[in-house]
Amino acid sequence: MRSLPEPGSLDSDVASLPAVPGAEAPPSATASATPLIVASLAGVLAVSVLLAIGLGAATVPPGETLRYLWAAVTGGSISADDVTAYQIIWQVRTPRVLLAVLVGAGLSVVGVAIQAMVRNALADPFVLGVSSGASAGAVLVGVTGALTALGIYAVSAGAFLGALLVSALVYLASRGAGGLMPLRLVLTGVAMAFGFQAVMSLIVYFVPDGESTSTVLFWSMGGFGAATWGALPVVTVVTAVTVVVLRRFARSLDVLALGDETSVSLGVDTLRLRRGLFVLTSLATGAMVAVSGAIGFVGLVIPHLVRLWVGAAHGRVLAIAPLVGAVFMVWADLVARTLVAPRELPLGVITALVGVPVFVVLLRRRGYLFGGR
């Protein structure tokens, strides 16, 4: 009697496998190249920051810039002639460029996390309606004069609270028996965005002063014009915590991308992971929107660009995306404030004008797949 081929037990079968030529190849080249890429990008970022601090309406050569920065950090002295330049460098441009670094890095990693959380390639940090909530909060504070106890931070606080309010509403509305459902999250977020935009329009309609209109414009386009040293500590902590925490969960994010059922079978509690991601990304986005408005495009495109470059594994993507996002944001901000100086272009305009063509070309050139062909 002939029977089906007997492959033997798992172990014996495996042991009898012939060595396959070329199969000894180490993990793909990109994986081992990650530290090198990170180091190079860190270098590029450092140079970009230095140049961006020096460049502007009043151009300061990099050497001078370094000298001022050194004096500021070490408490050294500068000559009286240099005071104006020093003020521009240290009080205006440095916090602005550093904020661009932090927000660029933060929005990029939050974008990666949100795309994984809602399993949607079109998702970005604002897909859950956070930006409209922040704008509405900011405008409301501006118009009503609420939160005056917070002084110059009142509007930012209003934006943050608005962002959190929207997140909480989206969370409550998307919760079901199976936890937060990805598609429901996106749909609820989009609906909330429309709702809060309507609220905002209503406020502007009834209180048609120039200030509320420009507040709306600022919060929906974003920018670093209002950057101060005071805003940096909070954003630094938020961005650092977000990057560190997300990187710790890199493998779980990989598993999540295989599907919810598969994730559970691999020991990843998707309900808890998604809940954690939601809270973390909402707080981070809220904090960033509060200081810089809703800078679109970065959180959507940088994740895709980085995946195109180094593949999909989150360990790599989350190491590289914050640096790419930071470099991109520093240059975008530089263009925004120098192109038609002394006027300043809205940052969102630059990120979109520069990023969209690059992105479309890259998408077409490489066989990039996200969930389908």
Partner 1 sequence: MTSLLLDGLSVTIDGAAVVEDLALAVEARQVVGLIGPNGSGKTTALRCVYRALRPTGGAVRIDGKDLSHMPLRDSARVIAALTQEGRADLDFTVEEVVALGRAPHVRGNQALSARERELCRRAMARMEVLHLASRGVLSLSGGERQRVLVARALVQEPQVLVLDEPTNHLDLHHQIRLLSMLKGSGLTVLVTLHDLNLAASACDRLAVLSHGRLVAYGPPADVVTEELLREVFGVEASVVTHPLTGVPQVLYDLGSATTMEGNVA
Mask 212-251, x = binds partner 1 (CB under 8 A)?
Answer: -----------------------------------xx-xx
Q: ∠ CA(234), CA(239), CA(243), 5° rounding?
A: 150
Q: Which two tokens stand for residue 289?
A: 């929107």
Distance CA 250, CA 257 (A): 11
Nearest of 197, 144, 139 to residue 166 by alpha carbon:
197
Distance CA 322, CA 22 (A): 34
Amino acid at 94: T
Nearest of 233, 292, 266 to residue 110 by alpha carbon:
292
Distance CA 301, CA 362 (A): 11
Instruction: Map residue 175 onto helix, strand or coil.
Output: strand
Q: Which window, 25-33, 46-54, 155-163, 203-211, contacts partner 1 (CB under 8 A)?
A: 25-33
3 binds partner 1 (CB under 8 A): yes
33 binds partner 1 (CB under 8 A): no
175 binds partner 1 (CB under 8 A): no
14 binds partner 1 (CB under 8 A): yes
Distance CA 35, CA 326 (A): 17
Q: Which two tokens stand for residue 259?
A: 């599907």
Smallest distance from partner 1 to CB 306, Å: 12
Smallest distance from partner 1 to CB 245, Å: 12
Contacts with 368 (C-beta within 8 Å, 6 or more apart), sequence order = 304, 307, 308, 362
124 binds partner 1 (CB under 8 A): no
> How many amino acids of this chain bind partner 1 (CB under 8 A)?
52
Smallest distance from partner 1 to CB 330, Å: 28
35 binds partner 1 (CB under 8 A): no
Smallest distance from partner 1 to CB 346, Å: 32
371 binds partner 1 (CB under 8 A): yes
Nearest of 38, 90, 39 to residue 64 by alpha carbon:
90
Q: Which two tokens stand for residue 123?
A: 């998702």
Considering beta carbons, is residue 15 or 80 the nearer one to partner 1? 15
Smallest distance from partner 1 to CB 102, Å: 24
40 binds partner 1 (CB under 8 A): no
32 binds partner 1 (CB under 8 A): no
Report the residue from 268, 280, 290, 302 that binds partner 1 according to the rule CB under 8 A. 268
Query: Would you list the DSSP string of 117-134?
Result: HHT-TT--TTTTSHHHHH
Report the residue from 13, 42, 62, 229 that binds partner 1 according to the rule CB under 8 A. 13
23 binds partner 1 (CB under 8 A): yes
Q: ∠ CA(173), CA(141), CA(92), 5° rounding?
A: 110
Report the residue from 315, 331, 354, 363 that binds partner 1 according to the rule CB under 8 A. 315
Q: Which two tokens stand for residue 3?
A: 């029977």
Residue ranges that bind partner 1, judged by CB under 8 A: 1-10, 13-14, 17, 20, 23, 25, 27-28, 116, 119, 121, 247-248, 250-252, 254-255, 257-262, 264-269, 307, 311-313, 315, 367-373
